[in-house]
Amino acid sequence: MENRKLRVGITHGDINGISYEVLLKALENPGMAEMCTPVVYGSAKIASFYRKNVKDMPEVKLTVIESAADADPAQARNYIINVVPEDTAVTPGDATKAGGNAALAALERATADLREGLIDVLVTCPINKNAIHGDDFEFPGHTEYLQARLGGENDKAMMIMASEDLRVALVTIHSPIAAVSGGITKDAVRDSIEAFGRSLVADFGIHSPRIAVLGLNPHAGDGGVIGSEETEIIAPAIAEANKKRLVAFGPYPADGFFAGGAYKKFDGILAMYHDQGLTPFKLLAGERGINYTAGLPYVRTSPDHGTAYDIVCRGEADPQSLREAIYAAIDIYRNRQREAEATANPLRKQNFDRGSDRVPKEKKEKDTKEKPRKEPKEPREPKPRKEEAPKAPDATETTAAPADPSQE
C-alpha cells in the first residue's frame, strides 16, 4: 500500500464563525504537519486578523502558495492558498453575504483541486447555510453540494456521523420534518442499509458489520398503533437487505435505543431523519465526533459543530472535532486503499467433480486419459438391505436468523 504523506485540503468555511480559531489551534501541534500536508483554502490576511483578535491564539506559520501542487510533502509546513480578495470584510459573529461568498470561493477551489488530484482528501470547516445560499449554491448543505460536484451518475452521497465507537447514518438528510415521512420508502431504506454496509467495510474497515435500524414513529409505531411505516416499509426493507448477506436489525424505538445503551452492540445505526440521529450522536460523541460524506469517489470530512457565532473571538472554541476530522479523512483514505488492494485479485474459483473426494475435475479427466481402463468384473448379486425407519431431522441443522445483539 502506498504510504506517502497526504495533502489534506481544508476550507475555511464561514469567515465570521469560529473556523479560523479552531483551524489555527488544530495546526498548532508540529506533529500535524509531520503526519500530513495541510493546505488551507482561505486568506492569510483573515488568519492574521483572528490571530491578533482572539485571546491566547497560537503563532502558527502559514506558507502562502499559488497552487496545491506547490505544497511540498517533504517539508513539515502548513500551507494556505488565498481564495478571496484582500478587502473581504470580516464581521465576527454575524451572518453576512461576504462571509457566504468567501466560504463558497474556498469550497469551489478545493473541490476542483480534489477532482484534479492536487489534494488527496477534503476537510470542510462549518458554513452558514443562509449566508452561502444563492444562485451559485442552491443546496441545503455540504452533502448535497458535494454530490453534485464530485458524484458520478451512479453515486449517492450519504451523511455519516462518526466517532471512535459510534457511527450514525441517515436515510433523509436535510429534509424538513413535514417532508420526512414521504422520503421514507422501502427502496430508500433498503438502499441506505446497503450503502451504509459498504461504507462500514471499505471506509471504516469493519467486516460483516451489524447495523441497527431505527423506526420513524414514537415507540417504532407500536405494531401499527402509532403509524404503519415500521411494519409496511422499514421492516420489509430490512428483510430485503438481509437477503443480500447484510446483517441488519430493527426497527427499534429511537428514544430507548440510545438511552439504554443498545447502540454499543452495533457497528452502525441508521436513523430515519436528521435530528433523530444527530441529537443523540452529538450528546454522546461530544467534541470527538465528525461528519463524513460516504458514497462518493472522494473523501470529505468535517467537524460536527456549526459556526458558533455566539463564542467567536472569546478563545473558547475547541479544535478537537477538526483534528478528528483530519485524522478520520486520512484513515478513511488508507482504509479504502487497503480494501481495494485486498479485493483486487480474488483467487480463481476451482470446479470440483461432485462424484470425487475434492479432486479437481480437470485433474480427474487427465488421470482418466492416462490410465488404461480395466475390464469390468462380473456384477455381484446385491445383498438384501434391512428396512430402516426414516431418521428424524436434526434440529441443529436448521438455519436460524441472526441473533439480535440488542437482546444480548
State the angle between helix axes of 320-342 and 19-26 in degrees (0 to 180), rounded to the nearest 10.
Answer: 60
Going by pLDDT thresholds of 50, 70 and 90, the confidence category of residue 350 is low
* 353 assigned to some structural domain: no
Mean pLDDT, to the nearest integer, of 138-142? 85
Residues 151 and 23 in one domain: yes
Residues 162 and 152 in one domain: no
Residues 36 and 140 in one domain: yes
C-alpha to C-alpha distance for 365 and 356, rounded to whole angstroms:
11
pLDDT tens digits, 35-60: 999 999 999 999 999 999 998 899 89
Q: Which DSSP symbol is given to 311?
A: G
Going by pLDDT thresholds of 50, 70 and 90, the confidence category of residue 70 is very high
pLDDT tens digits, 371-394: 555 555 555 555 555 554 444 344
* 257 assigned to some structural domain: yes
Question: 233 is in which domain, residue-wise?
Answer: 158-295
C-alpha to C-alpha distance for 329 and 37, rounded to whole angstroms:
13
pLDDT tens digits, 237-273: 999 999 999 999 999 999 889 988 899 999 999 999 9
Angle at 379 between CA 375 and CA 384, to 5 degrees: 155
Compute how many other C-beta atoms are within 10 angstroms of the C-beta atom of residue 404.
14
Q: Over the Cα atoms of the chain, what is R_g?
A: 28
C-alpha to C-alpha distance for 181 and 171, rounded to whole angstroms:
11
Going by pLDDT thresholds of 50, 70 and 90, the confidence category of residue 357 is low
C-alpha to C-alpha distance for 329 and 111, rounded to whole angstroms:
15
Residues 108 and 162 in one domain: no
Compute how many other C-beta atoms are within 10 angstroms of the C-beta atom of residue 139.
16
Q: How many CA atoms lie within 13 A of 13 on its CB side?
A: 30
Residues 150 and 68 in one domain: yes
Compute how many other C-beta atoms are within 10 angstroms of the C-beta atom of residue 23.
29
CATH label of the domain that carries residue 201? 3.40.718.10
Mean pLDDT, to the nearest integer, of 64-71? 97
* 205 assigned to some structural domain: yes
In percent, how much of the chain has pLDDT > 90? Answer: 72
Residues 240 and 164 in one domain: yes
Q: Output the pLDDT for position 51.
A: 95
pLDDT tens digits, 168-191: 999 999 999 999 999 999 999 999
Residues 138 and 253 in one domain: no
Q: What is this structure's pTM?
A: 0.84
Residues 17 and 111 in one domain: yes
pLDDT tens digits, 78-137: 999 999 999 999 999 999 999 999 999 999 999 999 999 999 999 999 999 999 988 888
Which grid cell sits at 190? 433498503
pLDDT at 149 over 70: yes
Residues 91 and 201 in one domain: no
* Mean pLDDT over each residue of the chain, to the nearest integer: 88
Residues 220 and 278 in one domain: yes
Q: Which residue has the higher pLDDT, 246 or 349?
A: 246
- Residue after which a domain boundary falls, among 343, 376, 402: 343
**Domain total for the chain?**
2
In percent, how much of the chain has pLDDT > 70? Answer: 85
Q: Which residues of 196-235 are buried (b: 16+ CB within 10 A; e: fewer)?
A: bbbbbbbbbebeebbbbbbbbbeebbeeeeebebbeebbb
Q: Output the pLDDT for position 381.
A: 56
